[in-house]
Amino acid sequence: MAVTPLPIETPCPEKSFGMRRISSNLRFKSVPASPSTVTVDRRGPVGEPTIGSSQALGDRDDDIVVAMSHTAASDVSPRPSPALVREAIATALEGLDAVEAQAYDAARRFRRLAVGEAHERLSHLVESAQTLLTLAMVTADAAGTDLDAVCTEHELTVERDTQTALALMIARQLDGDWPGLARAIEQPFVAALHGWRTVFQLIEDALGPWGHAA
């Protein structure tokens, strides 16, 4: 499979929430990016996904993030409803299960040296990492708190852990070390997913009796 370098970055403006980007130089078959106004570019995985699109981080996340971004970024609009915030958190937690399953599937394919198929799944994993960061930032803001504050208070390093995992995956991929890449996916990357699960649960716990952080 011919592959070209494709930095996976979110083409959304950063001014509303100071969005950070998780980017990588993992090499994938290029997929044209479509413009997005507020949220992440939701390119679907190349080829047939192992996990159905309804189970993974996908269009429903976009709708939730767009809705919360429009209201939270406005000076006159009220904050998103508690129901919308909780729906976003529930969607993220469901999506994490699907992303973890896809991670193990990609690792198995790298071990079997089905490299082309594995890269297709790997591309989606990297995009999912950016989606998780964006959704966590918007959800925390909508809940009346801040992602950095949540992580600092609970001594979490999930964003750094995700970056470290992606960097290790890049190194193994550039070396053509497919068993090593499989281990990088199964260990630090999956561990980072568990960290994101904790983050979303803490954001939900931070919601006060009126649906926003106490």
Tell me if 194 is assigned to some domain.
yes
What is the total count of domains within the chain? 1
pTM: 0.68
Tell me if 204 is assigned to some domain.
yes
User: Reduced to 3 states, what is the DSSP secondary structure of residue 211?
Assistant: coil
Tell me if 52 is assigned to some domain.
no
From first to last of the 214 residues of the chain, give the pLDDT tens digit.
Answer: 443 333 333 333 333 334 455 544 444 433 333 333 223 333 333 333 333 333 456 555 555 555 454 444 444 456 678 888 899 999 999 999 999 999 999 999 999 999 999 999 999 999 999 999 999 999 999 888 999 999 999 999 999 999 999 999 999 999 999 999 999 999 999 999 999 999 999 999 888 655 555 5
Q: How far apart are CA 169 and CA 26, in angstroms?
A: 8
Q: Which of 150, 145, 147, 128 is nearest to 136 (CA)?
A: 147
Residues spanned by the domain of 90: 82-214
Q: Which of 12, 52, 8, 59 is nearest to 30 (CA)?
A: 8
Tell me if 72 is assigned to some domain.
no
Tell me if 3 is assigned to some domain.
no
Q: Is 94 buried (19+), middle (13-18) or exposed (0-12) by CB count in 10 A?
A: middle
Tell me if 5 is assigned to some domain.
no
Tell me if 142 is assigned to some domain.
yes
For residue 150, the one-letter residue type is V
Tell me if 184 is assigned to some domain.
yes
- Do 125 and 188 meet the contact criterion of CB atoms below 8 Å apart? no
